[in-house]
Amino acid sequence: MSKKIYLYGNWKMNMTAAETRKFFDEFAGCYEPFKNDSGLEVGVFSPFTSLWALAEGAKKCGVVFGAQNVYYEAKGAFTGEVSIPMLKEIGVDHVIIGHSERRHIFGESDELIAKKVKALLDAGITPVFCYGETLEERESGNTFKVMERQIKSAIAGLTPEEVAKIIYAYEPVWAIGTGKSATSEQAQEVCEWSRKLIGDPKVVILYGGSVKGSNAKELLSMKDIDGALVGGASLKPGSFLEIYSEFKK
């Protein structure tokens, strides 16, 4: 039996509400051949301001949708933050947490990320938890040490059932938005190691970092890679879905 592929698109700080509507006008047609393919789960993650438009388009097409961040408190004096109940009102059931841009540009700590993961699980929302090493960490031989800290911090104190509900995304920072993907062997090595560290052979682990049609087959065919978290190539329906078409060839 062939494995199920998760194809998740992280739009980052791109796509206004109007652009989101336009994306789904085109996506609906491109997605038609894949609609009934139970081997594929598509998800799209937009900025907060486009979430209502995203919800409308994603529901029509039957794809998963979500936000790229959230705060762990339900309400209160947290200027500029968005809470889980606010996302639930829109119907969001997946949220990206701990993306390297949140960690490295906005200084999010392992502790803060862990609180967000727990709050999402408590609310019945799936965290798409990102982790990965910088180039400096890789070159200094600290790849596994850094990721062990990131993963252990996120799952500390969770029940095995909660750990199983998280979707994990290995995203080497040096491969994000650079056009330079990890090799399939590098990505497989980390995903296999992660699965053992997490301690549940069935967890979903995605690879992210310059995934596109031309490298999709090699990466997604690896045993421990269940799918891709895609940035740049997810902004156009054609290049986004091409990743799955190439994998299936």
Question: Which residues participate in catalysis according to the annotation?
Answer: 99, 171
CB-closest chain residue to ligand PEP: 231
- Of the residues 95, 146, 198, 211, which one makes contact with ligand PEP according to CB under 6 A: 211
132 binds ligand PEP (CB under 6 A): no
172 binds ligand PEP (CB under 6 A): no
Selection from 152, 146, 226, 244 nearest residue 187 by Cα = 226
210 binds ligand PEP (CB under 6 A): yes
Structure tokens that stand for 141 in this block: 């031989």
CA distance 200 to 163: 8
- Of the residues 29, 124, 177, 238, which one makes contact with ligand PEP according to CB under 6 A: 177
231 binds ligand PEP (CB under 6 A): yes
Please say which residue, 58 or 211, places its beta carbon nearer to ligand PEP.
211
116 contacts 149 by C-beta, under 8 angstroms: no
Q: What is the dihedral of CA 129, 212, 135, 106, to 10 degrees?
A: -50
209 binds ligand PEP (CB under 6 A): yes
208 binds ligand PEP (CB under 6 A): yes
Place of tokens 């390297």: 100
- Interface characters, 10-49, with ligand PEP (x: CB under 6 A): x-x-------------------------------------
CA distance 83 to 48: 11
- Of the residues 191, 230, 241, 243, which one makes contact with ligand PEP according to CB under 6 A: 230
Cα dist. 28→125, 237, 241 in Å?
Answer: 25, 9, 11
176 binds ligand PEP (CB under 6 A): yes
β-strand partners of 130 = 169
- Where does this chain touch ligand PEP (CB under 6 A) — which range of 27-35, 71-79, 139-147, 169-177? 169-177
In angstroms, give the least distance from the CB of 183 to ligand PEP. Answer: 15
- Of the residues 47, 213, 227, 232, which one makes contact with ligand PEP according to CB under 6 A: 232
DSSP 56-124: HHHHHHT-EEEES--BSSSSSS-TT--BHHHHHHHT--EEEES-HHHHHTS---HHHHHHHHHHHHHTT
- Of the residues 70, 229, 241, 243, which one makes contact with ligand PEP according to CB under 6 A: 229
Q: Which residues contact 179 (CB under 8 A, 6 or more apart)?
A: 210
Please say which residue, 65 or 83, places its beta carbon nearer to ligand PEP.
65
List interacting residues with ligand PEP (CB under 6 A): 10, 12, 171, 176-177, 208-211, 229-233
